[in-house]
Amino acid sequence: MVAEKAWKNVDLSVDIAGLKMKNPFTVASGTFASGKEYADLWAATLTANSKCQSPDCDRIRIERLIALGLSEEKPLSIMGAVTTKGVSHKPWSGNDGVRITETSSGMLNSIGLQNPGVEEFCSKDIPWLASQDVPVIVNVSGHSVIEYTEVIKCLELEDAVSAYEVNISCPNVDCGGMSFGTDTKAANDVVTACRGITKRPLIVKLTPNVTDITEIARACEAGGADALSMINTVAGMAIDYHTRKPLFNRKVAGLSGPAIKPVALYAVNRVHAVVKVPIIGMGGISCAEDVFEFLLAGASAVAIGSMNFSDPLSIPNILSDFIDLCVCEGVSDIKELIGGLK
Ligand SMILES: Cc1cc2nc3c(=O)[nH]c(=O)nc-3n(C[C@H](O)[C@H](O)[C@H](O)COP(=O)(O)O)c2cc1C
């Protein structure tokens, strides 16, 4: 671990279309709910380590995480922003049957955007998120253009919401979701409608399950997207050889985790070459080096997703390692990395 003075000199701040993040780390929607359980765990880990007398205790890392904003009262404020699970206008019950299975170097999910709807989200999650002192990006889901705009209209009344991430890329719902993200006109329509009702930063989340992601990216930018996030999960399937049936009721599911990192990096790099808006990169990020690579490919910020399941402390730990890496690589301002691929 590098000396304290050196890591304090690294400027980690980024600006995503007016959304000011003190560091480039957020969480990938749906892998963190609204963060309450993770906050409890991060706080408990901090308490345990603060009291720990063992020489094995990584005291320097703990002190650094505290300096970065980790506290027992507001653990999430260590991140540049928190991104919530997808929120729809009415409650969605999600998909029946198996919902998750592990794969080599990743996982497949078919959750189907289960959530209690925007009303309950506003009454239960928003007040708690507001207490965390961290910018809040709400991930928005819909079956139709009107459903997307209804969610945003409700959220416009909430001061604690900093930005929207419009999910036009979920492979796990029959109607809406990915169908908006695979057609340039449909993508443009939904973005234009959302743009019309908010001045807050509008981030649009893209699917890799298209022939040319740059066409969809351009259509979203033309519709008024302030930023793009990518990638959502890669369409895949699993088979139960014994029953000889698909494992998931809908057959298709979404692949995430380290297995998809090369796909995600390539998507970020291609889109960065054709749009002016900033990109939040995600897909298989599992270590500080991955974050570095996504910034070089063209991302201005990154989201950690499936890693939260295998290591619930991955966000604070990768953030800490990333600062070390910046110091070792002679980076004093991470903005110099963005799109810096030679
Ligand atoms: C269990 C699970 C639930 C997800 N739910 C959402 C969601 O509600 N909205 C969304 O835009 N993306 C959702 N995603 C996609 C992730 O946000 C992310 O784009 C994808 O998993 C790739 O990142 P990763 O490889 O780091 O997990 C979900 C992914 C997983 C694994």
pLDDT digits (tens, 9 = 90+) for 218-263: 999 999 999 999 999 999 999 999 999 999 999 999 999 999 999 9
Counting ligand 1 atoms within 8 A of each CB, the residue from 190, 256, 308 with the most, and so the one to mutate, is 256
The rounded distance, in Å, linking the Cα atoms of 161 and 182 is 28
Q: 64 or 109: whose pLDDT is higher?
A: 109
Give how many domains the chain has, as a whole number.
1
Options 170, 194, 220, 326, the catalytic residue: 170
Flag whether pLDDT at 58 surpasses 80. Answer: no
Distance 85 CA to ligand 1 centre (A): 9
Provide the pLDDT confidence category of residue 170 given band limits of 50, 70 and 90.
confident
**Average pLDDT of the chain to the nearest whole number:** 94
- The H-or-E segment that residue 229 falls in is strand 227-230
Kindly report, residue by residue over 178-216, the tens digit of the pLDDT.
679 999 999 999 999 999 999 999 999 999 999 999 999
Residue nearest to atom 26 of ligand 1 (CA): 305
Tokens coding 193: 């409608």
* Residue reference for tokens 């692949």: 255
**Domain with 34 in it: what CATH number?**
3.20.20.70
Kindly report, residue by residue over 305-323, the tens digit of the pLDDT.
999 999 999 999 999 999 9
Distance 333 CA to ligand 1 centre (A): 29
Distance 63 CA to ligand 1 centre (A): 31
194 belongs to the catalytic site: no
| Residue 341 located in a structural domain | no
| Residue 342 located in a structural domain | no
| Residue 297 located in a structural domain | yes
What is the average per-residue pLDDT within 13-32?
98
| Residue 9 located in a structural domain | yes
H helices present in 226-341, as ranges: 261-272, 288-297, 307-310, 314-328
| Residue 191 located in a structural domain | yes
The rounded distance, in Å, linking the Cα atoms of 24 and 303 is 8
Chain centroid to CA 286: 13
- Report the range of poorest mean pLDDT among 29-38, 120-129, 162-171: 162-171
Domain with 16 in it: 4-336
Residues with CB under 6 A from ligand 1: 28-31, 85-86, 109, 111, 113, 139, 167, 170, 205, 232-233, 256-257, 260, 282-285, 305-306
Is this prediction's pTM over 0.95? yes
pLDDT at 8: 84
Flag whether pLDDT at 275 surpasses 90. Answer: yes
| Residue 282 located in a structural domain | yes
H helices present in 210-311, as ranges: 213-223, 261-272, 288-297, 307-310
The rounded distance, in Å, linking the Cα atoms of 336 and 295 is 9
